[in-house]
Structure 1
């Protein structure tokens, strides 16, 4: 038995030959890590898009007369809606309703975003 195993092991003359034979036998299976990695790359891309647009939106809102604290919340809500289509929460919806004129003046209005507002 031992001699048969030794013959099977010594059948390959080089490690490269053994590796090439093993790769031919094994079929590649897609790794779930790669799928998860793609999702995180997409999430990172969206997060970076929000980070890039947020200061621009904030500046536009402040220039048209929105108070700084409200501009922070509104700019974040609009940037997240643009990047991820995340609907604003109730506090953000109330601010959108209150500062709707300013949002339109700053050219940041989104018809679907403004239609989600509460009365």
Structure 2
């Protein structure tokens, strides 16, 4: 069963609207910093979700974030803990 926008809880609707609004602003900053349009969109979505909903980036987004980290810093969108979850997951896989 799919939920329509009308049936989503109000706070979730507001959070999703905030993610979209913030993500659009971040996309503009990333694109202006020199990141290609499609990659900037994916990175902006990841950072917006991280900022608004405290959700870590998906593996493909994390890879883009690592690749473009200097430009993300230039756009002033780097978050110290953005990729920390990935490092912790790699450490736990190794058994350290």
> What TM-score, normalized to structure 1?
0.63
Which residue of 93, 103, 106 maps to 2:62?
93
Residue deviations 1:17-54, cap 9 Å, x none? xxxxxxxxxxxxxxxxxxxx8x8111111101111111
Task: Decide whether aligned partners of structure 1 residues 48 and 71 sit closer, same or farther in structure 2, where only a CA change above 3 A counts.
Answer: same
Aligned to 2:77: 108
In structure 1, list runs of 5 or more residues that go unmatched. Answer: 1-36
Aligned to 1:77: 46
Quote how far apart the aligned CAs of 1:57 are. 0.3
Aligned to 1:62: 31
Say how many residue pairs are matched: 82
Which residue of 11, 23, 26 maps to 1:42?
11
| Native 8 Å contact 1:57 1:75 kept in 2 | yes
Quote how far apart the aligned CAs of 1:69 are. 0.9
Aligned to 1:18: none
In structure 2, list runs of 5 or more residues that go unmatched. Answer: 1-6, 91-96
- Determine the C-alpha separation between the residues in 2 that align with 1:47 and 1:100: 25
Instruction: Please identify runs of 4+ aligned residues in structure 1 that moved more than 2 A.
Output: 114-119
